[in-house]
Amino acid sequence: MKRRSMGRAAAAAVALATAAVPAVPGVAAAQGSTAAQEAPTARKGRANPLEGVWRADGYGLVAVVTGGRLTTYDVTAHSCVPGWITADRDANSAPGPDGSVRFVHDDAALTLTPRGADRLIDREEGSVGTKTLHRIDALPALCTRPAPNDPLSVFDRFAESFAENYPFFAAKGIDWARECARARQGIGPATTPDQLQQVFIGLLEKLGDAHTSLARVTDRPHGVYFGRRPDTVPPTDAELARFQQAVAAQLVGPAQPFGNGLLTVGELPDGLRYLRVDGFGDYAPGFFSEQVKELDRALDALLADPDGTTGLVIDVRANGGGSDALGLRIASRLTDRPYVAYRKVARNDPADPTKYTRPQPITVRPSAGKHFTGPVALLTSAESMSAAETFTQALMGRSPRVVRIGQNTQGVFSDVLIRTLSPDFLVGLPNEKFLTRGGTTFDGPGIPPHLRIPVFRPDDLAVLRDPALSTARRVLTGDALNAAPGDPGAQDGQDGQDAQGDQDAQDGLDAQDGLDAQDAQGDHSDRP
């Protein structure tokens, strides 16, 4: 699960932690739980194949299943604390024919499926891909005793969590060990939580990563820091309101809101249809299935007359992320053939940052609902984050190609790995890569547009002008290359490269992805 908006009170990391952990009274106290006491005896041979202790490939995760309850632990080389995931077996759901069992907490759910006696597959609702867990004989010894919570121990837990899981130190040119060694010199027994918070924030700021976050825990976790690519500035609430008014000024007739106002369906001149997606989730109360139903309602309205639609404009310029699976669901309405959207990997060796889990291909499959396979323009900005970016990446394999207009996306793709540091702190960080066909990623600079057009510019908003939307309309009505004079994204060479990618899309990923990534790395105006 991903963060949904930089401007809201908490990142998805904090929101999920709040939902999954009724309270965080103290790490040491939590480790006296029933799960910790019973787990060492959870070995092979139990009648229930899920019962036991399991270690995940990647994610620094150890899980215990006992008595119908799932409990997790965050593990590093030198520490173990109870994790934020706790869930109970769904009493309203029978086991599947393959032995799969659904676990729930509030409106979050996951399914564990046994694969033989010693392996489990974990699929989390709303996420794409799976985690693989392997049976171990007992909880690691570190997990059976209270974790120290003095300032140095908490700092070391923070530093080690990043050292063992964060994938992008080399790409960002950061010597994490050196930075942490310097910061550690100022920490001692008298260091207060407020002082420790500032140390953590100082280190997180060096990463310039919108998938890093820090939460303080009082009665509930509350966010105190959210990362961001350094060269980007979020629009104000007033500017976002003007942005929506500027869009409405180009629509023909009133827009149709869905999903608590996060989905907007409208009509543009010349037979064009418009969909704005301001988040991938929070559409309705309840489980992920309720989010899907509400999204389908919006898509059915959007595609009510696919034969009479000349083109689609999809707008994710103000989208802070959410569920990758919902993005794939939109993509499934825009194709009549399956193709690979991206391949997902996670760091899988604490001592070796080059080792990753086996790549999982994530596929866009045509939906049973109404489809549109004609021309599509996608509007992006630096506020297009996380699931908005994996959605953008998923559309790169579509044929005919989707024309991207606006600015580079934010440059964060991984699910957020939530780590418990102490009774006072939770931290969120990325540990995954979403790979292009060439094995590269867009993490850091983000996905570049084909046509680079200003977004959220105050001078435009003041007069309700939306040049990116105007450009999309011209592109979809045949004036693509003249839409953005002087924009290097509109060069014939770039257009030809993407056309070559379309020819190769049947293989899975857009062959242009790797070239686009190289172009993005060379675009210094949008780099962190």
Give the pLDDT confidence of 254-275 residue by residue, as tens digits: 999 999 999 999 999 999 999 9
What pLDDT sits at residue 41? Answer: 46
Confidence of residue 369 (pLDDT cuts 50, 70, 90): confident
DSSP string, 267-285: E-GGGEEEEEES-BS-SSS
Six token digits for residue 214: 């820090």
- 392 sits in which H/E element: helix 387-394
Q: Are 394 and 341 in contact (CB under 8 A)?
A: yes
What pLDDT sits at residue 48? Answer: 84
- 73 sits in which H/E element: strand 69-76
> Using only C-alpha atoms, what is the Rg of the chain?
23
Q: Is the pLDDT of residue 496 over 50?
A: no
Q: Are 382 and 446 in contact (CB under 8 A)?
A: yes
DSSP string, 99-166: --EEEEETTEEEEEEE-SSSEEEEEETTS-S-EEEEEESS--GGGGSPPP-SHHHHHHHHHHHHHHH-
Average pLDDT, stretch 497-515?
31
What pLDDT sits at residue 46? Answer: 56
Q: What percent helix, strand, coil does the chain show, rounded to 5?
A: 35, 25, 45
Six token digits for residue 526: 């949008």
Q: Is the pLDDT of residue 487 over 50?
A: no
CA distance 285 to 293: 11
Average pLDDT, stretch 310-335?
98
First to last CA, the chain: 24
What pLDDT sits at residue 85? Answer: 86
Average pLDDT, stretch 292-310?
96
Q: Is the pLDDT of residue 137 over 90?
A: yes
Q: Are 74 and 419 in contact (CB under 8 A)?
A: yes
Q: Is the pLDDT of residue 339 over 50?
A: yes
Confidence of residue 479 (pLDDT cuts 50, 70, 90): low
Average pLDDT, stretch 114-128?
96
Q: Each residue of 13-68: pLDDT tens digit?
A: 433 333 333 333 233 333 334 444 444 444 444 568 999 999 999 999 999 999 99
Average pLDDT, stretch 230-245?
96
What pLDDT sits at residue 220? Answer: 87
Q: What's the whole-number average pLDDT of the chain? A: 85
Please, how many CA atoms are within 13 Å of residue 321, restricted to the half-sphere of its CB?
30
Confidence of residue 478 (pLDDT cuts 50, 70, 90): confident
b/e per residue 102-132 (b: at least 16 CB within 10 A): bbbbeebbbbbbbeeeeebebbbbbbbbbbb
Pairing verdict, β 451-452 and 402-406: parallel
Kindly report the pTM of this predicted structure: 0.86
- 177 sits in which H/E element: helix 176-184
Amino acid at 241: A
Least confident piece of the model among 177-186, 306-315, 472-481, 495-504:
495-504
Q: Is the pLDDT of residue 466 over 90?
A: yes
Q: Is the pLDDT of residue 517 over 80?
A: no
CA distance 515 to 402: 16
